Amino acid sequence: MKLPKLHTSYMPIKNIVYATDFEEEDIYAIRKLVEMDQQLKAAIKVVHISTKDEYKGEMQLEWFKEMLNEKVTYDQIDFELLFTEDVFETLRMYLGDTNADLVVMLEREHKGILKNVFHRDLVKKMEFYGRVPLLSFRGSNYQLFYFKQAL
């Protein structure tokens, strides 16, 4: 039996975008991402995108950087804080502006139902967006992750 030829191409991963909510579980997911990234040596851009109503963004960013630096050693991590009314659209545009080769998100297991539903919706939208491969870590179990290849 002759197998059909697959037309695939390989693009090295140079830019990874990690979408964060500035929560402690993000730190452990980023640590796992850095472990996976040891061979790639890609730049990691940690971005937090929220509505303009969020007033503690700068303080949360500084807290998050400190916590991350205590647990993760990697010199190719940059941070961005963006405010918008449409989080998904801003993330989509950010991925294009930064030439992202991979977007990483954490599927959260929040206690707050509204925040949990909103976040899962955002992960699902990114999954169906499909222009940038999505790596999704699951909740507090950082050993489980799912990879969705762009179509």
The per-residue DSSP string of 39-95 comes to TT--EEEEEEEE-TT---HHHHHHHHHHHHHHH---TTEEEEEEE-S-HHHHHHHHH
pLDDT means per 10 residues, the chain with 151 residues, are 69 91 88 88 93 77 92 92 90 94 82 47 69 79 48 40
Evaluate whether residue 107 is within a structural domain: yes
- Provide the residue range defining the domain that includes 43: 16-148
Evaluate whether residue 2 is within a structural domain: no
- In the chain, how many domains are there? 1
- The CATH number of residue 138's host domain is 3.40.50.620
Evaluate whether residue 132 is within a structural domain: yes
Listed residue (6, 12, 11, 19) closest to 134, CA to CA? 19
Evaluate whether residue 3 is within a structural domain: no
> What pLDDT is recorded for position 109?
62
pTM (2 d.p.): 0.79
Cβ proximity of 126 and 89 under 8 Å:
no
> What pLDDT is recorded for position 24?
85
Evaluate whether residue 135 is within a structural domain: yes
